[in-house]
């Protein structure tokens, strides 16, 4: 956690803004509905870092319905319309599919970090926030996963942190604190 704040991404404007957007669309203790998620209502600078994925029903494979322009440019491929099986391979595919499977299976937000080497700038800290979205009010199952990815130049940590499920209360508290700190963009 960062400086006593309840979120491990409390210093990340992209992930905080996604958390605030998602949280504002929740009804009571339920996850938001797909019909309430509209990229046109999001802070503009968030859109390039977004991904929207859905389970395919084929094990842990997900299909990417939307991939932001910064992600396309950074990862040098447009995964829109493609499955995780088509774009990932080996242990990285297993890791990514497992992250999505946790969110889908638990219907709970998940934060994950990794380190990646980029040809242009060297090592970067890559941060992901994955958030569950229901198909409709009657559905308790996750129909989509709304996510964002951010990165910053950083030395590789001694040990890669484990993915963390984020309790709804911690997410709400972190969003409130981010609001007070002026970390959120206007919707």
Counted domains in the chain: 1
CATH of the domain at 122: 3.30.450.20
- Taking the C-alpha atoms of residue 155 and residue 165, their distance in angstroms, rounded to an integer, is 25
Considering only CA atoms, which of 10, 22, 2 is closest in space to residue 109?
Answer: 22
Confidence (pLDDT) at 127: 93
- Residue 185 placed within a domain: no
Query: What backbone phi and psi angles, to 5 degrees, belong to 79?
Result: -90, 0
pLDDT above 60 for 3 = no
Beta-bridged to residue 145, according to DSSP, are 53, 132
pLDDT above 70 for 66 = yes
Considering only CA atoms, which of 151, 137, 168 is closest in space to residue 22?
Answer: 168
Q: With bands split at pLDDT 50, 70 and 90, how would you rate the model's confidence at 90? A: very high
Q: With bands split at pLDDT 50, 70 and 90, how would you rate the model's confidence at 47? A: very high
| Average pLDDT, rounded, for the chain | 87
- Residue 28 placed within a domain: yes
Mean pLDDT in residue range 79-104: 95
- Residue 54 placed within a domain: yes
- Residue 186 placed within a domain: no
Q: With bands split at pLDDT 50, 70 and 90, how would you rate the model's confidence at 2? A: very low
Q: With bands split at pLDDT 50, 70 and 90, how would you rate the model's confidence at 186? A: low
- Residue 2 placed within a domain: no
pTM listed for this prediction: 0.90
Considering only CA atoms, which of 134, 64, 74, 61 is closest in space to residue 101?
Answer: 61
Tell me the percentage of the chain whose pLDDT exceeds 70.
Answer: 92
* Pair 115, 88: CB distance under 8 Å: no
Q: How many of the other CB atoms lie within 10 Å of CB of 8?
A: 20
- Residue 1 placed within a domain: no
What is the domain extent for residue 172? 13-179
Q: pLDDT for 107-163, tens place per residue? A: 999 999 988 776 677 778 889 999 999 987 777 789 999 999 998 877 666 567 789
Two structure tokens written together for 152: 């910053």
- Residue 119 placed within a domain: yes
């Amino acid at each position: 956690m960062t400086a006593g704040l309840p979120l491990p991404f409390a210093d990340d404007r992209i992930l905080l803004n996604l958390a605030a957007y998602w949280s504002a669309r929740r009804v009571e203790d339920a996850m938001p509905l797909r019909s309430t998620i509209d990229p046109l209502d999001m802070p503009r600078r968030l859109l390039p870092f977004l991904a929207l994925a859905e389970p395919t029903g084929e094990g842990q494979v997900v299909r990417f319905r939307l991939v932001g322009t910064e992600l396309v440019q950074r990862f040098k491929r447009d995964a829109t319309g493609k499955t995780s099986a088509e774009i990932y391979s080996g242990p990285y595919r297993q890791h990514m599919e497992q992250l999505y499977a946790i969110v889908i299976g638990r219907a709970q937000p998940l934060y994950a970090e990794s380190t990646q080497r980029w040809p242009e700038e060297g090592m970067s800290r890559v941060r992901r926030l994955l958030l569950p979205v229901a198909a409709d009010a009657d559905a308790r199952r996750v129909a989509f996963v709304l996510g964002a990815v951010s990165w910053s130049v950083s030395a590789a940590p001694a040990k890669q942190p484990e993915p963390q499920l984020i309790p709804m209360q911690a997410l709400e508290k972190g969003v409130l604190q981010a609001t007070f700190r002026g970390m959120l963009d206007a919707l």
